Amino acid sequence: MRKLLSLILFLFSISILIYGQEEKKETKKWVWIEAENVKETSFRGNPWMKGDDPEKLSGADALTHLSSDGQDPNREEYYAIWEFEIPEDGVYEFWSREGYKGHIQYKWRIDKGEWQTSDYDLPYRNIITIGQFRTIGWVNNGKIELKKGKHKLEIVLTGSAGGGKGKDIWGLFDCFLFTQERFQLRGKAKPGEE
């Protein structure tokens, strides 16, 4: 009986050890930002841009813009700023779930870093229809080195519909992901979610 008890105790302490190690491995290597949780923006929100079914959006909401001054050289600047926190120093891929590539172009930067362009012809993946004339999909905006701690993501709309030929300026952002790991695109599912 005593032998059995010490065996149980032994197995119990081993499992604590293994469990402890697994806990350590699970430091999150990614950050998910809901675009609707914007800190500051001059976007002119539009419910039509969000699509017909909120369930197709992460967090059932998005940040949108619609205006018809795309060919006006004196138009105001449409920008949005988000705050987020990076869990550890590293190189992160910047993914954006956004509307209708080919009709949306923007520039982005982190903190006061160099501006990068997210062009009309970047690959648009895992696309779903969210209403007539409207789709949403994932865009990989490339890699960026980030330090642990708080940062700001800034986006400025630079294009217009029809690859820059149209007068309408479209903006539709559902969520963003900064990740050090390979990301499996599955609609609004976060890394590790079914």
- Sheet with 149-157, side-by-side order of all strands: 40-41, 79-86, 149-157, 106-110, 116-118
| Residue closer to Ca ion (CB basis): 153 or 160 | 153
Name the residue with the smallest CB distance to Ca ion.
59
Cα gap 52→35, rounded to integer Å: 18
| Residue closer to Ca ion (CB basis): 37 or 184 | 37
| Residue closer to Ca ion (CB basis): 160 or 172 | 172
Which amino acid is it at 194?
E
Phi and psi dihedrals of 63, rounded to 5?
-105, 130
| Residue closer to Ca ion (CB basis): 154 or 174 | 174
Q: In angstroms, what is the minimal distance from the CB of 27 to Ca ion?
A: 25
Q: In angstroms, what is the minimal distance from the CB of 107 to Ca ion?
A: 21
Dig out the tokens for 52 from the structure: 């017909």
Q: In angstroms, what is the minimal distance from the CB of 37 to Ca ion?
A: 8
Instruction: Summarize as ranges the residues that interact with Ca ion (CB under 5 A).
Output: 34, 57-59, 174-175
Q: In angstroms, what is the minimal distance from the CB of 173 to Ca ion?
A: 8
